[in-house]
Structure 1
Amino acid sequence: MSHPAFELVRDEAIAEINSQARLYRHKKTGAEVLSLINDDENKVFGITFKTPPEDANGIAHILEHSVLCGSRKYPVKKPFVELLKGSMHTFLNAMTYPDKTAYPVASQNLKDFYNLVDVYLDAVLFPIISEDTFEQEGWHYELDSADAPLVYKGVVFNEMKGVYSSPDSVMHTQSQNALYPDTTYGKSSGGDPKVIPDLTYAQFKRFHETYYHPSNARVVFSGDDAPEKRLDILDAYFDQFDRIAVDAEVKLQPRWNAPRAVSGTYAGTIDSEKRRDGMVSVNWMLDEPDGREETLSHGMLSYLLAGNSAAPLRKKLNESGLGEGVLGGGISTYLRQPMAGVGLKGIDPSNAEKVEALILDTLRDLAETGFSDEQIDAAINMFEFNLRENNTGSTPRGMSYMFTAMGPWLHGGDPLAQLSFEEALASVKAKAKGEHFKNEIRRLFLDNPHRVTSTLEADPEQGAREAQAEVDKLAAVRAGLDNEAIQSVVARTERLKALQEAVDKPEDLAKIPTLSRDDLERDIRTIPTDESAIDAARFFYHDLATIGILYLDVGFDVTVLDSEQLPYMPLFGRALLQTGTSKEDFVSLTQRIGRTTGGVAQHRALATRSEDGQTAAWFFLSGKAVADKFGDMLDIMSDVLLDARLSNKERFRQMALEEKAGFEARLVPGGNGIVDTRIKAALTEASWVAEQMSGVSYHEFLKGLIERIDSDWASVEAVLVSIREKLFNRGAMVINLTADADLLDRAKSELGQFVGKLPGGKFERATWRQSSFAAHEGLIIPAQVNYVGKGANLKALGIQLTASASVVLRHLNTTYLWDKVRVQGGAYGGSSRFDLSSGNFSFLSYRDPNLLKTLEAYDGAAKALRAGIGEQDLTRSIIGVIGDLDRPEFADAKGYSAMWRILNGTTDAVRQQRRDEVLATSAADFEAMAAAVEAVAEKGRIVVLGGEAAITAANAERDGLLKVQKVV
């Protein structure tokens, strides 16, 4: 297809993604455009700029935040938030990488999609990016009065304080920076909090002028929208620019002729008796991959080495007894010169050299012996299955195509080469059982001297030392200010706060494009579901197009277990798939799963049932396979359910250590979720169960369990056996199948044989004894930021709300909480959550420099809600909630969702009622929610996860408000 403003460079069909791919170059500016034409209703647009930072001041990251804070066409404070509030987007965000910044959006609604594209193009090409925005999103000095302490504020500044509070993130940053010391990859693109305050507004503006230009842009469209209109939209913007030369090349890191080592520390605690605070990672820089075949080979080699618990390198590390969990284990392809790395965390720092030696020795052994045919067959099958299924989960497929193409495209390569795979897959399969992977281990690792061994260990004084260094630095700055300068900072602080609190003009807000209520579907989207029985088990079937794949969920009711058995469930589920059986060890079992299926996995699901308030608690074993392998998959499921080797003490101990290390790694990146779970654990039974299986209580259980595995394994094994005997019962079982109709009869016959192997018996629901919690808790971790939560069960407080609450909270989250907690408070995020079925409500903040101020903001929410809402804002919030309800799902997710709604009591009638309530939201619902959050302010339960200094200071000011517990 020709277009007067664009030169058609390539036009070819890519069968693997069912797309016609057209590559264009904008004649006037040189902007490059990849237009993927397919039948995907989930339409995707993304514009990406090469943005190589020169140092660690966070400039690219801060700019990513800032361009979405108002533009020429949309001169409001937060158009991004207006879109979050009132768009039916299926994706809306922006991402900073070490060498690029990407702005992708997606929507199923064509009008909404065009709205998103227009706002994003105006944002990146014509942003306002005032000094106020720079200070708000990046950093600024804040001084509330002439005698107040000078402090740093800024959203990215505090976000990166959170990142640098995560030991895993510190390790990755240290390793990457050391591996690429002479290129942009040797800088922290997110920003180092110690360096961010060195960034000036002039540098910030110049960075945008330099890199945010069509001549430096790569654009992707994908979906079923009109291909000619895509080019019209782009040309309307690009035509306003002339071509310029942009020097954004990511230069190649010169190679070394000898390995190097780097060491560092992180803010953490030390157990003087049993040192487990160290981390070590061995990392390599690789050459640019030569086409799709090499990237596919890299991925398959990563899987063979460490891609699952039975992979030889991961297995060696786990079984070494040197650490608690594996770090990395693969080749990262998002850098021009890829980075590979693997290591261990939870080690005694004195054992770092032993871990390094173990990694290198294992690679040498594998370079000699290679991988077994079973290992290679499993890897090939898993990769081929995933490539053909093309299931990207909650990510729109078009976004996956965008980032797949972007790898080589960004650096002058062919964007289409990575989107096809048939020829590359055939070539790798032909080589796989020869010398190929043995040679690759030698080439990429053993004969590659560009290697860094990176070590970290905890420093219990580091957090306090860094906090004091910041105080001293600010004190020095303050000491250098005369009275006039101090008053200037105070005035600047007041001015910024006033701007943050100011309301946008209605006429400017009206410029943000939106849908109308008439654009919304009134009826819910239903999923075909037939219910019957197979033996004593409930059977759900969903007739959906699945390209010949059968998706199966086998569920068991967890309410048969005793209270004391619940914390074992995460490890019990892993043990089923990772301990082997009486007939095969776990390596053989893992390879068998890989050879014959698209994967078998386990998980748990919890909810409060809508109709009766009872707990729905289920354990699921899920798998997917093509028709001729479905029986093989059922045989695997039978073996793991009935014959898993629960006596495998050493493997179970390894998994317990991994679980503990995994929880500790989630503390900083997932702190708000941990707080949310802890708050609600005291409110409802289902939430209490979640705390036992995934919260701070679970972490405490793991610490004790690891000791009992060594001292009293027999009692631990007895619990595991008891769980199996109680849980796997045909009378407390559901089977959920999603597949094409022509596969059903054969599948039902095979399922009948499968169910017949499982024991029957009486099904009895246990009575759980819930543990109690302090009224308010302060959970201490070594971090520079906090996660502040407050919540209550509204039903217990006598408050009944409707589904309209979701509209009210969407407005609250995108206005009052966004402004108070994020914009003015400097936290990375602030939100509220409400579950209509349970009645649980919570306020939460993320990477928050504050504590008591944030609680004050929560307690002021009622006043904000009583201020009311305009019709335009109300409509936008309704649209946003409907967009959430109608988010697209692939066939497997649709089948699972339909089944889970039945189990938790959310019938289609209930769903329709809730949708009607959302659409009918009015001012009265805002008043009802105001009364509810007022009750939370008065009677809510507080949980804070954060640094010791912040929690201690809060207790000093609020008379010991928080009961303190050290988590790590």
Structure 2
Amino acid sequence: MERVALLRTSGRRLLHRCRGGRPAVVPAAAASSLARRPLPSSFPARGYSSLPRHGRYWPAATPRLARRLSAPAVSTSPSPVPYDTDDVHEYAAKLGFEKVSEQIIDECKSTAVLYKHKKTGAEVMSVSNDDENKVFGIVFRTPPKNSTGIPHILEHSVLCGSRKYPLKEPFVELLKGSLHTFLNAFTYPDRTCYPVASTNTKDFYNLVDVYLDAVFFPKCVEDFQTFQQEGVVFNEMKGVYSQPDNIMGRVSQQALSPENTYGVDSGGDPNEIPKLTFEEFKEFHSKYYHPSNARIWFYGDDDPKERLRVLSEYLDQFEASTAPNESKIWPQRLFKEPVRVIEKFPAGEEGDLRKKYMVCINWLLSEEPLDVETELTLGFLDHLLLGTPASPLRRILLESGLGDAIVGGGVEDELLQPQFSIGLKGVSEDNIQKVEELVMQTLKNLAEEGFASDAVEASMNTIEFALRENNTGSFPRGLSLMLRSIAKWIYDMDPFEPLKYEQPLQQLKARIAQEGSKAVFSPLIEKFILKNTHRVTVEMQPDPEKASRDEAAEKEILKQVKASMTQEDLAELAHATKELKEKQETPDPPEALKAVPSLSLQDIPKKPIHIPIEVGEINGVKVLQHDLFTNDVVYSEVVFDMGSIKKEHLQLLPLFCQSLLEMGTKDMDFVQLNQLIGRKTGGISVYPFTSSVRGKEDPLTRIIVRGKAMAPRVEDLFNLMYTILQDVQFTEQQRFKQFVSQSKARMENRLRGSGHGIAAARMDAKLNAAGWIGEQLGGVSYLLYLRDLETKIDQDWDSISSSLEEMRKSLFSKNGCLINLTSDWKNLEKSNQHIAKFLDSLPSSPSLGSDPWLSRLPSVNEAIVVPTQVNYVGKAGNLYQSGYQLNGSAYVISKHISNTWLWDRVRVSGGAYGGFCDFDTHSGVFSYLSYRDPNLLKTLDVYDETAKFLRELEMDDDALAKAIIGTIGDVDAYQLPDAKGYSSLLRYLLGITDEERQQRREEILSTSLKDFKEFADAVESIKDNGVVVAVASPDDVEAANKEKSVFPEVKKCL
């Protein structure tokens, strides 16, 4: 889940691991992740994903991922585990499993066996290798017939207790006491997935057992109260239906496929969700949550026999069913003529409504499944069209000035029929037709003229690099592999095919070499787009009254329902509500809690994970080197002190960083520069990083230039870094204007979809200097700055351009520079000569002085008003200022508060999609936040009662051990080599030593109930002295101020 904008990181994560120094993204296949850490993809995000997916827990960003092209494994590629296959197959046969197929998957160095359970027909893919990050997943085909949200509500409900684990929510107990590297569930338009991952074998099988019991024998189909309490889904979807980009994606998908299951919303329409009956709910589970309708996945270094043994205990309890026939997805027939759809979306009153339109053109590409070579070629075409700032379709649309930002996910291929979507947001009403014409004409021109050879080479290298690098970030590689396989397997196609890219990749390269790229790509543009009559144009019209109308309509329905009820009905409802509330607030009995399997403290390593580091110097500059196996990829960070820039230039920093990568030099325009980066490297990024430093008033502020390349290309990497830093010219006024418009559109989208991040940034800005800087660069203040800057570009471009040049001169010199490298020792040594050359080329003049940055926003409560049906409520205070001295137990306690008190009161009882707290141990700021919350004052009351909760808390040794183990799971989160090197860099910059990490770990492991009681005194200070920021609807803010005058400051931002 996204946290505070602009690279702020919480104390727990920076002390023990790094979640990265820039906003990262989640693979589109996994719309939500319980763990609040970003999951980087192989390719940059753009616009919305047109495939709505809904998870059990609050989502991070959901961009498109090049699923067919991104790698299924990671830098430290696994190897097949040697075992006696005949012995395993013989064992499988005894358990009732028939081997269907066995293949060696060289691309991920695995042995994969597809089994079928004879009795039920359940299909099982068992993938074996030496990857310690084991993955299990069970997937059911769950096509809905209406938009009541049955699949989504069921996904939430099955994890609320089961036959073997009769707790209210065994899932939460796993959260508290597991070492999981992934734990979640999510709903697609046509299937529901339940994946888990862990590096600890015992823990892994604990997770597997809880999940299998949950999906096959849930309490929710017998317990009406569990069904009743899933208002969480209702409020989640109210949030989804408040966001224009999400509305665009939903309307596009439903208009493209009106005749099959994709014509309804599996997540649920808030207007339809209340119509769902308990009988329909139970019937849906009985029909689809059956082994005959399941696809089951195992991956990693665990024993393949144990996988089948565990499965057989559950599968053998069932007989075969007709579910596979009833759940079959039928294709949408292709239209003979294009279709146009007009939809309204909730818009704020700020700005010119006539310039807030959105338009997206969508195609359903085929009625029949595509062969693997065509899919791969379409993936390349998609990257050529839209994958980089230099891609022609993306570039021409943005340079047209017809809109502010791209919408549309390009090629989407995770459902039965692939689709292509592209358009613009921030469009004037008069320009809607012009956008459509420009899209069609640009595609026509590209089909006729083809792509530049440099563009094709750059795209080929970018995609091939991603495949060779095999880096899925913190997203488990086995889960990435599973989701790709499922995209075919769920439709009864070959599950092995998506795992193997090498042969079709080589065939595609050979075709391009022999026939030329035009002969390869132009026919695809013609067939699938230009001559394709299955086209839907979606026009989105801003409506400032829509949010209020929707809210009023909901209240009117409730009023009418109440009016139709007798006194006896009302008394029965009040009694049922009271019973439900009592159930929600009553702790599970100790014997039920003990039923959930967990590790013991003896299973936990006593020492933190060690990352090798050598600190040296080259040409007087500090160089950090991390000797780790990376498959010959070299990862590099060049770090500059940004404290030398003037305060008046601070808010230009994000645009300055973008300009470095997306403007040209004297010798190359930005298209040529981007293509050169694509041909020679695995990518370069530039971004600001800021954090508080514990014990210091001054924040850490840096610019980080991050890049990667294969070892033979390291010289090219550093040469290109130099070009970006020193040769780029800040002369392209119209491109800079585009950057401002795009940034403004992104910020406005964040206000609606990630209001918790906006609130957190705003609170931090009131409490510490690093928070103030972060908010200036990525919060409400930045949005206001962008709006003002947009009006000044045409009048004062010379001044802006000269400011950018002045920033370059003050930032990029050897003074204060630091270099971080991660690779194996052989490649590190070879890189030193290229580092020396790079450093010699940098100016060595002293950096210019700057004004002090120790600013803060006024410490007053404020509401940020946006057109939404749900709220994001925050409250925060600085614990260090109240006298608290940091102890490792704080990590345990804050996690426990999130997983118990806030989960139960804000989510379960309050109906919010998420409620959590975060302790930034660098600044001392302790924050409460809610996500898609129907409440405002009630949530603030819960925050204020946290100290009382801690003082009255009773925990036995088992509960305390679980809390400690779960915290260690966060501390020891699985990392790939590049992330390890980056984490080590941040620790070095922040002065975090291995000795301190060991001390905090010992304090975590020795946490006692007494520590919880003492922490209550610290959080008590927030009740009276904390600051409140809410991103909320106008009606809720007005009601809150009438009742308590909570918000002296009210800002309209949309």
Interval of TM-score (by shorter of Structure 1 and Structure 2):
over 0.9
Aligned to 2:312: 235
Q: Which moved more, 1:268-277 or 1:302-311?
A: 268-277
**Aligned partner (choices 373, 382, 388) of residue 302 of structure 1:** 382
Residue identity matched to 1:796: Q
Contact 2:157 2:227 in 1 (8 A): no
Structure 2 Cα separation of the partners of residues 311 and 544 of structure 1: 34
| 1:471 corresponds to | 555
Contact 1:302 1:329 (C-alpha < 8 Å) held by counterparts? no
Percent of aligned pairs sharing the same letter: 46
How many Å apart are 1:18 and its aligned residue? Answer: 0.4
1:873 aligned residue:
959
What are the superposed Cα offsets for residues 564-585 of structure 1, whole Å, 9 maximum, x if unpaired? 2221111111110011212101
Q: Which amino acid aligns with 2:331?
A: L
Taking the aligned partners of 2:842 and 2:131, their CA distance within structure 1 comes to 41
1:160 maps to 237
Deviation at 1:270, TM superposition (A): 4.8
Kindly report the root-mean-square deviation, in angstroms, between the aligned alpha carbons of the 2 structures: 1.3
What CA deviation, in whole Å up to 9, does each residue of 1:732-791 have, x standing for no partner? 111111111111232100110011111112245651151532510000010000000000
The letter for the 1-side match of 2:918 is R
Give the equivalent residue in structure 2 for 1:36: 127
| 1:210 aligned partner, one-letter code | K
The residue correspondences of 1:313-392 to structure 2 (distance < 5 A) are: 313-392=393-472
CA contact (8 A) 1:801 1:928 kept: no
The answer to whether 1:846 aligns with 2:946 is no
State the partner residue of 1:17.
108
1:859 aligns with 2:947: no
Aligned to 1:148: none
Name the counterpart of 1:837: 922
Give, in angstroms, the shift of residue 635 of structure 1. 1.2
Distance (whole Å) between structure 2 residues aligned to residue 53 and residue 164 of structure 1: 19
Match of 1:778 in 2: 863
- The alpha-carbon deviation at position 376 of structure 1 amounts to 0.6
How far did 1:667 drift? 1.9
Contact 1:536/1:731, CA 8 A, preserved across alignment:
no
Aligned to 1:652, the other structure's residue is in SS state: helix
Q: Is the 8 A contact 1:66 1:133 kept in 2?
A: no
C-alpha contact (below 8 Å) 1:282/1:356 kept by paired residues: yes
Cα separation, 2, equivalents of 1:668 and 1:820: 24
* TM-score, length of structure 2 as denominator length: 0.89
Q: Which of 596, 605, 629 does residue 680 from structure 2 map onto? A: 596
Contact 1:610 1:906 in 2 (8 A): no
Counterparts of 1:452 and 1:17, CA distance in 2: 38
Sort the Cα spacing of 1:564 and 1:131 in 2 relative to 1 into closer, same or farther, 3 A. Answer: farther
* 2:752 alignment partner, SS class: coil
Distance 1:643 1:656 in 2: 22
Give 2:217's aligned residue.
126
Query: Following the alignment from structure 1 to structure 2, what is the Cα–Cα distance between the partners of residues 886 and 771?
Result: 34
How much does 1:348 deviate?
1.0
Does residue 487 (structure 1) correspond to residue 571 (structure 2)? The answer is yes
**Which residue of structure 2 lines up, in the alignment, with residue 205 of structure 1?**
282
Whether contact under 8 Å (2:768, 2:856) holds in the other structure is: no
Aligned 1:648-797 pairs, distance under 5 A: 648-763=732-847, 766-768=851-853, 770-797=855-882
1:702-733 deviation line (CA, Å, top 9, x unaligned): 11111111221111112211110111011111
Q: Between 621-630 and 844-853, report the one with greater CA deviation.
A: 621-630
1:534 aligns to 2:614 (yes or no): no
Conserved? CA contact 1:562–1:768, under 8 Å: no
Structure 1 runs (4+) deviating above 6 angstroms are none
Distance 1:458 1:870 in 2: 55
Between the aligned partners of 1:539 and 1:282, the Cα distance in structure 2 is 49
- How do residues 801-950 of structure 1 correspond to structure 2 at under 5 angstroms? 801-868=886-953, 869-950=955-1036
Q: Distance in 2 between matches of 1:270 and 1:953?
A: 20
Q: Deviations over 1:906-949 (max 9, x none)?
A: 11111111111111101121012211121111110000001000
The residue type equivalent to 1:255 in the other structure is L
Question: Partner residue of 1:563?
Answer: 647
- Return the alpha-carbon distance in structure 2 between the equivalents of residues 16 and 587 of structure 1: 32
SS at match of 1:510: helix
* Alpha-carbon distance between aligned partners in 2 of 1:289 and 1:606, rounded to the nearest angstrom: 48
Q: 1:136–1:823: 8 Å Cα contact kept in structure 2?
A: no
Displacement of 1:600: 1.1
Aligned-pair CA distance for 1:233: 0.7
Rounded Cα–Cα distance in structure 1 between residues aligned with 2:497 and 2:1047: 60
**Corresponding residue SS for 2:815:** helix
Deviation at 1:272, TM superposition (A): 6.8
Instruction: Name the aligned partner's letter for residue 412 of structure 1.
Output: D
Q: CA shift at 1:848, angstroms?
A: 0.3
**2:263 aligns to what?**
186
Output the CA distance in 2 between the equivalents of 1:827 and 1:431: 53
Q: How does 1:419-458 map to 2 (within 5 A)?
A: 419-432=499-512, 433-434=516-517, 435-458=519-542
Residue 952 of structure 1 deviates from its aligned partner by: 0.8
Structure 1 position 604, deviation (Å) = 2.4
- Paired residue for 1:582, among 655, 666, 674? 666
Moved more, 200-209 or 559-568: 559-568
Q: Which amino acid aligns with 1:536?
A: G
In 1, Cα distance between equivalents of 2:851 and 2:633: 37
8 Å contact from structure 1 (residues 527, 898) kept in 2? yes
Report the equivalent of 1:141: none
Partner letter of residue 546 of structure 1? T
Amino acid at match of 1:891: P
For residues 53-102 of structure 1, the C-alpha deviation after alignment (integer angstroms, 9 at most, x for no partner) is 11111110000000000000000001111111110000000000001000
- The one-letter code matched in structure 2 to 1:251 is W
1:70 maps to which of 144, 161, 167: 161
Tell me the SS of whatever aligns to 1:546. coil
Look up the match of 1:149. none
**DSSP-derived class of the 1:747 partner:** helix
1:260 equivalent to 2:339? Answer: yes
Deviation sequence 1:240-264 (CA, Å, 0-9, x none):
0011111101110011111000011
Per the alignment, do residues 857 and 340 of structure 1 end up closer, same or farther by CA in structure 2, a change over 3 Å counting?
same
Q: 1:751 to 1:36 in 2, by over 3 A?
A: same
Query: Which one-letter code corresponds to 1:845 in the other structure?
Result: S
The counterpart of 1:219, out of the listed 296, 311, 314, is 296
2 CA distance for matches of 1:494 and 1:824?
11
Q: CA deviation at 1:334?
A: 1.1
**How high is the TM-score relative to the length of structure 1?**
0.97
Of 139, 145, 159, the match for 1:48: 139
Q: Please list the CA deviations of residues 824-850 of structure 1 after superposition, one character each: whole Å capped at 9, or x if unmatched.
A: 100001111101121011110000000
Task: State the distance in 1 between where 2:219 and 2:276 align.
Answer: 18
| Residue 954 of structure 1 pairs with residue 1027 of structure 2 | no
AA at the equivalent of 2:981? G
> Equivalent residue for 2:173?
82
Separation of aligned partners in 1, 2:378 and 2:751:
31
Residue 611 (structure 1) shift: 4.9
Matches of 2:434 and 2:547 in 1, distance apart? 29
Q: Secondary structure at the match of 2:219?
A: coil
Task: Name the amino acid aligned to 1:874.
Answer: L
Equivalent AA in structure 2 for residue 168 of structure 1: D
Deviations 1:601-627 (A, max 9, x none): 122222112353531111111111112
Q: What CA distance in whole angstroms lies between the structure 2 residues aligned with 1:274 and 1:867?
A: 52
Q: 1:768 to 1:271 in 2, by over 3 A?
A: closer
How has the CA–CA distance of structure 1 residues 137 and 422 changed in structure 2, closer, same or farther, with 3 Å as cutoff?
farther
8 A contact 1:20–1:36 mirrored in 2? yes
Task: Check the 8 A contact 2:385/2:391 in 1, yes or no.
Answer: yes
User: Is 2:178 aligned against 1:93?
Assistant: no
Give the counterpart of 1:799 among 865, 881, 884.
884
